[in-house]
Structure 1
Amino acid sequence: MKAALLRSSRTLNRKAVLFLDFSQFEKETNDNHSKNQDNQFSTAVSMFTVGGMIGSFSTTFMVTKFGRKGAQFVNCFASFIGAAFYVASFYLSSHYCLLLARLAVGFFAGLSTGICPMYVIEISTADFRGKAGVLPQLFITIGILTAQILSFPSILGKASLWGWFMALGSIPCIIWILYSPKMVESPRYTLIEKNNSEQAQEDLRKLRGVEDVSAELAELEDEAAKLKAEQSEEDDGMTVMELFKDPSLRWQLLIVCVAQMGQQLSGINAIFFYTNDIFKAAGFSTETSTMISALVGLENVAMTFVSLAVIEKFGRTGLHVGGNILMVIFCAGMFLCLKYLTAASFVPYLSIVCILGYIVGFAVGPGPVPWIWNSEYFPQRARGPAGSVSCALNWTAAFLVGKFFPIAQSAIGEWVFIFFCAVSAFLAVFLWKFAPETKGKSFAEINAEFAKMNGMEVQETEMLKSDEK
């Protein structure tokens, strides 16, 4: 009897050990599965910015080979490919299709950020360039708001529709292609880079709505003649390496690169990507957080309209510096709100005010202005490679923020907002001191001012001569 009880006890002990081992194994398996899902999600998110970097680097080739309008026409097919992979990922439950979809859509977005601001700046008159330059940023904010509204659970934010929801991004491309026959190519590209004076004249008449465009055409022809005289027959355009080596473009390149990287490192995508998480940390429910995120998107659109209205009055540099000062103030406020979240019942609501104030600062200046400078600061031959470099840096910074913000937030909590605050403060000081104002100035006047900053005589600056009247 005693032996039987001993055997039974040993059997129960072995089963208990096996049960404990299995429970531990199951827990570790679940943890590993959760980590694997997090890694897959993080990779899928980052593939968008990787595609954006590739698309940005393609700007020089695309705008030179196909023109501004033609390059965007070709680019639309990248969006269609991305939409197809989204739907395939949805029906096939394929993680790899999702990665390809994110890569293709990212490529489309990256190339668009290089093409669209360049196109609208080139077809605009000097007194309208600022407003025209804000338009791409305005429609980006409208797109973000539209996506936020459509993602409500009562509309398309359902697990059973996510593939088709993500594919909706190709609809604007369909509209663009249908409307493209009514659009014109940039006359600067047509005449200066393709030497087609007749087509440039016809396009100028359509753009300006008048028959007599002889004065503007003469300026373009004079610019084209000077540029042709400076180029060798084998020279088919400036490369990225030549851009970095040209002493007449040093300050333009430095200012634009600092502005583009600072735009992302100041934390705007951290705010947009993780707004719901921030509001949850502040104690709001999921439904409330979603509604507040849509409110943030609406405010972003409204303040971009404000930038559109005042940019020709206050100037590019003035709005950028002023916007960064506001971002410093409200980013510091966000840090304090998250640090002392439970100090009083009103603190969570104060965090909403800080986010809204931060968006005000970003939308009026740091959001749209760097894209205007991409084209305004550079002469015709340098715009393609300059757009490639600056846009690629912007996307690189966006990748870094998207990849490492969650890690930094887990490690140091609300202190991560002090870094964003410091970046905005640096931008405000740097741009106030070094970025020249360009409102109402011709390309020749802008280039002459940078010639002085670069320590070069205007008449001896090879790349800048091409934009003199």
Structure 2
Amino acid sequence: LSPQQKMTLTLALVSLISGFGSSFQYGYNVSVINSPAPYMQDFYNKTYFKRNGVAMDRSFQTLLWSLTVSMYPLGGFFGSLMVWPLVNNCGRKGTLLINNLFSIAAALLMGTSELAETFEVIIFSRIVMGIFAGLASNVVPMFLGEVSPKNLRGAIGIVPQLFITVGILVAQILGLNVILGNAGGWPLLLGLTGIPSLIQALTLPFFPESPRYLLIQKGDEERARQALQKLRGCNDVDDEIEEMYQEDWSEKEEGRFSALSLCTFRGLRWQLISIVVMMMGQQLSGVNAVFYYADRIFQSAGVESSNVQYVTVSIGAINVVMTLLAVLIVESLGRRILLLAGFGLCSVSCAVLTLALNLQTTVSWMSYLSIVCVVVYIIGHAIGASPIPFVMITEMFLQSSRPAAFMVGGLVHWLCNFTVGLVFLYMEAGLGPYSFLVFCAICVATAVYIFFIVPETKNKTFIEINRIMAKRNKVEIQEDRELEDVHTVPGGQAWKKEFFSRDL
């Protein structure tokens, strides 16, 4: 590998700090309220009784807890709306630093809610934390995708998802009854989420901003060059600078995209449809339902109720290990094969799980088959369905349209997440185990779409991927045009802009 293609210490640290300070907390807050739920609900009851002198009505308690759970994805939806204006005006790194304020504020409010005797603050903080997660889930993949060399872009692009799974696992471990998932520990459990943000706020300023943002959007070649030299660990970055200029010239006529103009622009039609389909497939494929059913599945297989939380932790650990495997194999196998394998495994496990759940009362070993199905499903989601769609948004869009694409993808992601949380209980009541056939159909449909439409993007530049999609969109791209001037870089080297228009 050339020096520009190697993993440098700076690039590794940027990936780790961004992942730990932002993505980790997204995962942490997905599962942090699961274990201490009975103790938190008890706190809601006691607080209400102190204020009003009467016990809380059962239906009102259910409403409050539903709000506590569902405000997080709703906040994520609002956070996604903020992606486009923030990353364009404040930069990728700048947005992550601003975003820490949401997390630290929410952590302080949740951590002190018991002392203040107010449950409303917890519900409000879940919205604020959701806004943080909505921004983090979109900005971190965008930032890391833009700072990575093309041969490492897939692996580094999965790092955010790896930290999400680590966050879920850490919340499950700390949420064990013997640690913080108890009457005295839950406020600290909720408040700990501010620590990664504090670490990120103190360390990320010492690392470079996205070179693509600095050059293409800010027109500051000097700072972009310095950022690239730090990230690559060498002074010769002319090839990447030239590639950025090519990208800039090829999209000059299009200007900056808003979410609305992106949705109506013919030249990016199939990229946009692909992102919407993959994001819907990711969230509507039943991953939340599988986790919801997991406890019951393990209990039916003979696991004691008191030990179910330890089994849940083991499922979280499998999730982390398989996502780490995806990081290691994505550059050798490519994106398409992981997406197809992931959705394929999910569809098969959903179909078999439907059968196993229906027969487990009559056939004794079916409960063990159910456990195998859950594990296979988690593996499928971890290697493909969860991490790869965010990588694809980075790769399928150029600089001018990428923020708007992440905003649209984020909105679909969080809206579907919220919808599943809202609808699944009714689905389960009406369909029972047959709910998984719906998820199976969604996984199959998504896999079929990917097979016929989504190209392999491994080891290709953003411009090369754009050319592939231009053919599908049946548009002529201004790949470059004959320009007479010569661009001189600060080091004194000059290259002529010898480009031409090609009808694709």
TM-score (norm 1): 0.88
Change (3 A) 1:396 1:155: same
Q: What SS does structure 1 have at the residue aligned with 2:385?
A: coil
Deviates most, 162-171 or 254-263 = 162-171
Given that 1:248 and 1:461 are in contact with CA atoms closer than 8 Å, whether structure 2 keeps it comes out as no
The answer to whether 1:324 aligns with 2:343 is yes
Displacement of 1:280 in angstroms is: 4.0
Of 172, 177, 184, 1:153 maps to 177
Local SS of the residue matching 2:376: helix
1:121-151 CA distances to partner (integer Å, 9 max, x unpaired)? 1011111111111111011111111111111
| Post-superposition offset of 1:277 | 4.3
In structure 1, how many angstroms separate the alpha carbons of the residues matched to 2:300 and 2:80?
Answer: 35
Q: Which has the higher helix share?
A: 1
List per-residue Cα deviations over 1:38-93 (Å, max 9, x = no partner): 12111111100110000011100110111000000000111112112212432234
| Residue in structure 1 matching 2:217, options 174, 186, 193 | 193
Alignment pair present for 1:53 and 2:77: yes
Question: Is 1:138 aligned to 2:193, yes or no?
Answer: no
Q: Distance in 2 between matches of 1:364 and 1:147?
A: 21
1:245 to 264, 289, 303: 264
What's the counterpart of residue 101 of structure 2?
Answer: 77
Worse overlay, 216-225 or 393-402: 216-225
- Any idea what the Cα deviations from partners look like across 1:431-460, whole Å, max 9, x if unmatched? 111111101111111000110000112337
C-alpha separation between the residues in 1 aligned to 2:56 and 2:228?
62
Contact 1:328 1:422 in 2 (8 A): yes
Residue in structure 1 matched with residue 362 of structure 2 by the alignment: 343
User: In 2 relative to 1, CA 288–461 (structure 1 residues): closer, same or farther, beyond 3 Å?
Assistant: farther
Mapped partners of 2:288, 2:93: distance in 1: 29
Q: Cα 1:281–1:48, aligned 2, differ >3 Å: closer, same or farther?
A: farther
**Partner in structure 1 of residue 236 of structure 2:** 212
Q: Aligned match of 2:473 in 446, 454, 469?
A: 454
1:282, CA displacement in angstroms? 5.5
**What is the CA deviation profile of residues 328-373 of structure 1, one whole-angstrom value per residue up to 9, with x for unaligned ones?**
1111122122111222332222211110000111111111110001
What is the root-mean-square deviation in Å for CA atoms of aligned residues?
2.2
Distance in 1 (alpha carbons) for counterparts of 2:193 and 2:226:
33
Match of 1:269 among 285, 288, 295: 288
Equivalent residue for 1:180? 204
Residues 1:394 and 1:461: Cα distance change in structure 2 (over 3 Å): farther
**Deviations along 1:234-277, whole A, 9 cap, x unmatched?**
x6x32111111111010000001110111010011222355324
Aligned to 2:386: 367
Alignment partner of 1:402 is 2:421: yes
Alignment identity in percent? 38
Amino acid at match of 1:73: L
Separation (CA, whole Å) in 1 of partners of 2:403 and 2:479: 23
> Which runs of no fewer than 5 residues in structure 1 stay unpaired?
1-29
The total of aligned residue pairs comes to 431
- Once the two structures are superposed, residues 169-204 of structure 1 have per-residue CA deviations (whole angstroms, 9 ceiling, x without a partner) of 121111111211331100000111011111111100
TM-score, length-scaled by structure 2: 0.82
Task: Give the letter aligned to residue 159 of structure 1.
Answer: A
What is the CA–CA distance in structure 2 between the aligned matches of 1:359 and 1:31, rounded to whole Å? Answer: 41
Distance 1:461 1:398, change over 3 A: farther
Q: Which amino acid aligns with 1:348?
A: S
Distance 1:357 1:31 in 2: 44
Within 2, Cα distance between the matches of 1:242 and 1:338?
A: 47
Q: Tell me whether 1:355 sits opposite 2:374 in the alignment.
A: yes
Looking at structure 2, the residues matched to 311 and 117 of structure 1 have their Cα atoms a distance apart, in angstroms, of: 15
Partner of 1:155, secondary structure, is: coil
